[in-house]
Amino acid sequence: MSQATNRKMSPVSVAQVAIDDGFWSQRIETNRTKTIPHEYKQCKETGRIDAFDLAWKPGDEPVPHYFWDSDVAKWIEAASYSLATHPDPELDKLLDEVIEKIAGAQQPDGYLNVYFTVVEPEKRWKNLGMWHELYCAGHLMEAAVAHYEATGKRRLLDVMCRYADYIASVFGSNPGQRYGAPGHEEIELALVKLYRVTGDRKYLELSRFFVDQRGQNPSVFQRELEYLSEEDSRINRYFFERNGFDTSYCQDHLPVREQSEAVGHAVRAAYLYSGMADVAVETGDEELLRACRRLWDNVVNKKMYVTGGIGSSRLNEGFTEEYDLPNRDAYAETCAAIGLIFWAQRMLHIDADARYADVMERALYNGALSGVSIDGEKFFYVNPLASNGDHHRQEWFGCACCPPNIARLIASLGSYIYSESPSDVYIHLYISGQAELNTAGTRVKISQQSGYPWNGDIEVKIEPAEAAEFGLNLRIPGWCRKATLAVNDVEMDNASIVRSGYARIYRRWQPGDTVRLNLDMPVERVAAHPNVVENIGRVALSRGPVIFCLEEADNPVPLERIVLPRDAKLTAVFDEELLGGVVKIKGEALLIDDADWGDELYRFGSVTMRPYSFTAIPYYAWDHRMPGQMRVWIRSL
């Protein structure tokens, strides 16, 4: 087992955390009983699982796709995390059956990819830029680690170690090896996971090799073109720009240590930046860490939606210029928000700074959670911030990366709540339940109880096996303007103990000690930077970590005509009958009226406004009722 070198804290495994939460428990149960079975059924019916039997022959339909392996891998990962917290003999058996199919598809040399085994075997490793072999390998590695940690079974782990060994024999800088990097990054972070669970350093070195291959001149992807036919080269259309060959689409435009602006495909970017952070931690590469921090600042301060979504353009499923954040045309892929959560957690563990946890929470409750319906069986691939009523969740997609991705995130939620170091415990997310930690040389049980995210009254109970000295760090969210904190009913002076967004209480903790944290949670108006031209003169509504939106189901008027005065009173009301139980925001606004316009298109003078009572709901819960308009950003006076 490897030891992290630069992290100020380490994650807590899913198995150490039991969630018993008014908001999340039902979603986790729905994920377990509805989403994971639904996704298995889709993978089965579409041929993704049985493709590992390698029985496909020319002329058969459907034809396996070169990214299919990754969909099954993410399903395995989600199911494995679920097993870690909720034993299920039937799911356990089903996982074993799928894993046996995967093991049976492995080739004598260790290679493992359905498409390039049965459909076009002559094209193995020919187009790393666009054909997803290393991406699929990475997801299978993550699945193997998750399954091993959840069950202790080595079957898939051994298969993937053998595959990783084979990949390490093909790619590298030694004589007889070849250059190359994944066009769709993912394997970088997966190899570090494999290294951490096995202790085999060659997996870490291979990850670093792939990271360092980016930004070469000529590009590794440009050099691949000599192997491709003219027809196959067309697949690499994202790399051909008016100014020549440009691989910024997959973050290959510069060596990673020189990068400072997020470009290209957003999911690829988030996975790359996560892998960079992992490699930097394990190798002590400060230059790589500095690049991660620069890229983080660029994304969060200039290219992130208020919902935590990233990647504004449909054309490249990714980033464009700074402040280009359209609403109705927003892409904001669910996978990209999830990738941002992965990256945020890694940066949080490195710097112990709550600004990363703030973004992690924002993306979790908004840009990622919107990606799955409340019933767990419909999904958004794209998450716009405005709709005219024509955008809806679907049961599945031809490119189905998002459904199993959100499933694995929800199943692994326990691993995002707490972190620990030899001397400290950190609480990042306020989710009710219990955790079993090991701090200051003793076992410590921590219990949380709250009504979060609907209210900010949080109680934390500390139960060390015996009295022990350590620091308890509670995140004071960036959205909170007023917080009070008390230990055993003795109020603390926050100003003296808050550092980098965490209130650190260092003391000799006794069994039964209680901490109470109150986070003031009024309704807030959020303004965008003036360079975000679509949102000039508009505000978004937030309360705690949740972003709200207007829906036509509650507001049967043209939503663009609703205008919110600066002094309008806004009230938060919990409605247990609405959308599974949510807080809604009610307020008095104005409505631009057209009753006296007649047929005229233009006229002199001001428009008429009349009072209008509006209702806003959490953004994650939109598109569950009648089709209709939706808006996050509201006109303001």
Q: Which two tokens stand for residue 383?
A: 């998450």
Q: For residue 212, give the 3-state DSSP assignment.
A: helix
CA nearest to 621, candidates 378, 372, 387: 372
**For residues 273 and 281, is the Cβ–Cβ distance under 8 A?**
no
CA nearest to 543, candidates 498, 582, 576, 500: 582
Q: Which two tokens stand for residue 581?
A: 């139980």
- Cβ neighbours of residue 108 under 8 Å, at least 6 residues apart? none
CA nearest to 278, candidates 345, 217, 374, 354: 345
Q: What's the CA gap between 303 and 263, in Å, rounded?
A: 10
CA nearest to 613, candidates 573, 594, 585: 585
**For residues 335 and 401, is the Cβ–Cβ distance under 8 A?**
yes
Question: Active-site residues: which are they?
Answer: 317, 401
- Cβ neighbours of residue 606 under 8 Å, at least 6 residues apart? none
Query: What is the C-alpha end-to-end distance of the chain, expressed in Å?
Result: 59
Q: Are strands 442-450 and 433-439 parallel, antiparallel or unpaired?
A: antiparallel
- DSSP-derived secondary structure letter, 110: S
- Positive or negative torsion for Cα 484, 489, 492, 497: negative
User: Measuring CA to CA, how many Å separate 198 from each of 106, 146, 158, 350, 438?
Assistant: 20, 13, 10, 22, 22
Q: What's the CA gap between 98 and 75, in Å, rounded?
A: 10
**For residues 62 and 51, is the Cβ–Cβ distance under 8 A?**
no
Where are the strands (E) in 385-456, listed by range?
386-387, 418-420, 424-427, 433-439, 442-450
Q: What's the CA gap between 268 and 201, in Å, rounded?
A: 24
- Cβ neighbours of residue 307 under 8 Å, at least 6 residues apart? 332, 337, 362, 363, 366, 367, 370, 383, 385, 547, 619, 632
Please give the helix or strand (H or E) that residue 519 lies within, else none: strand 513-519
Task: Look at the block and give the residue holding tokens 């701090």.
Answer: 439
Please give the helix or strand (H or E) that residue 98 lies within, else none: helix 89-105
Backbone phi, psi, residue 466, to 5°: -150, 160
